[in-house]
Amino acid sequence: MPELFLSPRLRPTPFTPGVEAAAPKAYTVYNRMRLASVFDSLESDCAHLKEHVQVWDVAVQRQVEIAGPDAPRLVQWMTPRDISRVGDGVCAYLPICDDSGGMLNDPVALRLDRELWWLSLADSDMLYYAKGLAIGAGLNVSVREPDVSPLAVQGPKAEELVARVFGDTVRKIGFFHFANCSLDGRNHIVARSGWSKQGGFEIYVDGHENGMPVFSALMEAGRDLHVRVGCPNSIERVESGLLSYGSDITWEHTPYQAGLSAYCHPETVECIGREPLLREAAEGPPRQIRCVSIGGGPAPQLTEFWPVTGSGLSVGRISSVAWSPEFRTNAAIGMIDRSHWEGGTRVEVHAPDGVRAAEIRESFYR
Ligand code: THG
């Protein structure tokens, strides 16, 4: 793999010293920040994540803070999800849509107060977009990137580790809920969330200077739990069907195509893209995100979309792929046309090393 040429422009995070000490083998770039991708190997990182606990520097999930009397109005304008049902202390997965109903981001939103929201971003420029909407519409809000950096603790032993550091109250935090927790007199938001299906928490570390103290406290307290520095694992997240904005979904796809209809209520809310979304809700999406099992041995790294054909016609594309040691197949995510999206349908995937037989799957875990 080619090397990544680091510079201050690819912003370091508050946890960078801790990540560098663990010597990642590869980084990617996300919101103009460094994000480790592999430590030991994808396979062994994945096996460790499923058995123990890992601390992930996910500061790349930058926050857009929307504060002020018009905050609920701006957030509701940006998403077709009905945010009136989101209470304080609750995280909400939000599709953000443009005027064509195309997805611009898929953040986790935190409602800290009626007039104070954080959008925990995927990889696209929501700060400029939110500022532009607020300025253009003359809304009474402030939009900024606060000095807040998420640190994820993921894996089956995550609850034990986070409870050791932040106290037993974290055990009562429900999935996609958050609470204020303190360490050495500093308050941080602790949420039960994260980009894996192994269970865990995300600590929204308040203040750059508090990054390494929190990171080190977790690494210290987790020695006997076999804690390791880790990162989002591409095998585990594809097996789990967690979507990556920019790869699996882009501005060319609506939330219905992304499989996010549960988070889409254009019938009842005033939002950007309402009319096209209503039309697609009525007609049904022409294509949709699917799990795909690709045959043959371990597939090469996917760096551009791989075409999918069925009955000799183009029926979609593969956007993520990873060899799964657990399921003994190449686990993949693709955007598949309606004609071929049913579970069990056989298709061909045009990988760079040749055509491979593949099958549409409802999920890898069912
Ligand atoms: N955590 C935080 N910010 C993030 C991510 C995160 N920003 C970028 C990226 N990840 C956003 N994308 C996702 C995608 C899926 C989920 C979270 C963020 C997720 N989905 C659950 C699922 O699919 O089962 C549940 C969603 C729900 O019930 O509402 O967790 O990981 N802070």
Shared-domain flag, residues 57 and 156: yes
Distance (angstroms) between ligand 1 centre and the Cα of 121 equals 10
CATH code of the domain in which 365 resides: 2.40.30.110
Q: Which two tokens stand for residue 241?
A: 């069907």
Shared-domain flag, residues 75 and 220: no
Closest atom, ligand 1, to C-alpha of 243 = 14
Distance (angstroms) between ligand 1 centre and the Cα of 311 equals 35
End-to-end CA distance of the chain: 34
Query: End of a domain among 103, 132, 161?
Result: 132
Shared-domain flag, residues 91 and 106: yes
Identify the residue whose C-alpha is closest to ligand 1 atom 26: 93
Is pLDDT at 325 greater than 90 in this prediction? yes
Q: How far apart are CA 9 and CA 326, in angstroms?
A: 38
Q: For the chain, give the number of residues.
A: 366
As a 3-state breakdown, the chain gives helix, strand, coil percent values, each rounded to 5, of: 25, 35, 40
Q: What pLDDT does 1 receive?
A: 76
DSSP three-state, residue 360: strand
247 lines ligand 1 (CB under 6 A): no
Q: Which two tokens stand for residue 238?
A: 């594809």
User: Running DSSP on this structure, what letter comes out for residue 107?
Assistant: P
Number of domains observed in the structure of the chain: 3
pLDDT tens digits, one per residue of 195-223:
999 999 999 999 999 999 999 999 999 99
CATH code of the domain in which 231 resides: 3.30.1360.120
Residue to mutate (ligand 1; options 54, 60, 125, 242; most atoms within 8 A of CB): 242
Name the pairing type of β-strands 228-230 and 54-57: parallel
pLDDT above 90 as % of the chain? 97
Q: Which two tokens stand for residue 55?
A: 């601390």
Shared-domain flag, residues 160 and 203: yes
Average pLDDT for 312-318: 97
Q: Does residue 3 lie within any of the structural domains?
A: no
Closest atom, ligand 1, to C-alpha of 263 = 29
Q: How far apart are CA 15 and CA 248, in angstroms?
A: 28
3-state secondary structure 71-97: HHHHHHHHCCCCHHHCCCCEEEECCEE
Query: End of a domain among 238, 272, 303?
Result: 238
Shared-domain flag, residues 127 and 183: no
Query: End of a domain among 238, 260, 276?
Result: 238
Distance (angstroms) between ligand 1 centre and the Cα of 193 equals 7
Q: Which of 5-9, 162-166, 300-304, 317-321 has the lowest mean pLDDT?
A: 5-9
Torsion of CA 93, 96, 97, 103, to 10 degrees: -80
Determine the structural domain holding residue 55 and report its residue range: 16-61+147-238
User: Running DSSP on this structure, what letter comes out for residue 2?
Assistant: P
Yes or no: say if 28 and 81 are a contact pair by the CB < 8 Å rule. no
CATH code of the domain in which 87 resides: 3.30.70.1400
Q: What pLDDT does 365 receive?
A: 83
pLDDT tens digits, one per residue of 132-144:
999 999 999 999 9
Shared-domain flag, residues 108 and 161: no
Q: How many CB atoms lie within 10 A of CB 41?
A: 10
71-75 contacts, C-beta under 8 A, 24 or more apart: 71/114, 71/115, 71/116, 71/117, 71/141, 72/114, 72/115, 72/117, 73/139, 74/130, 74/133, 74/134, 74/137, 74/139, 74/141, 74/143, 75/109, 75/117, 75/119
pLDDT tens digits, one per residue of 19-51:
999 999 999 999 999 999 999 999 999 999 999
Look over the chain and give the mean of its residue pLDDT values, rounded to a whole number. 97
Phi, psi of 355 (to 5 degrees): -85, 135
Reported pTM: 0.97
Shared-domain flag, residues 76 and 186: no
Q: In what order do the strands lie in the sheet with 91-93?
A: 91-93, 108-113, 116-120, 63-67, 142-144
Burial class (CB within 10 angstroms; exposed 0-12, middle 13-18, buried 19+) of 315: buried
Residue 2 — pLDDT band, cuts 50, 70, 90? confident
Q: How far apart are CA 238 and CA 299, in angstroms?
A: 14
Q: Does residue 74 lie within any of the structural domains?
A: yes
Shared-domain flag, residues 305 and 361: yes
The torsion region of residue 180 among left (phi > 0), alpha (psi -120 to 50) and beta comes to beta
176 lines ligand 1 (CB under 6 A): yes
Q: Does residue 326 lie within any of the structural domains?
A: yes
Yes or no: say if 174 and 193 are a contact pair by the CB < 8 Å rule. no
193 lines ligand 1 (CB under 6 A): yes
Is pLDDT at 366 greater than 80 in this prediction? no
Shared-domain flag, residues 165 and 97: no
Q: Give 212-275 as a DSSP string.
A: HHHHHHHHHHTGGGT-EEE---HHHHHHTT---BTTTB-TTS-TTTTT-GGG--TTT---TTHH
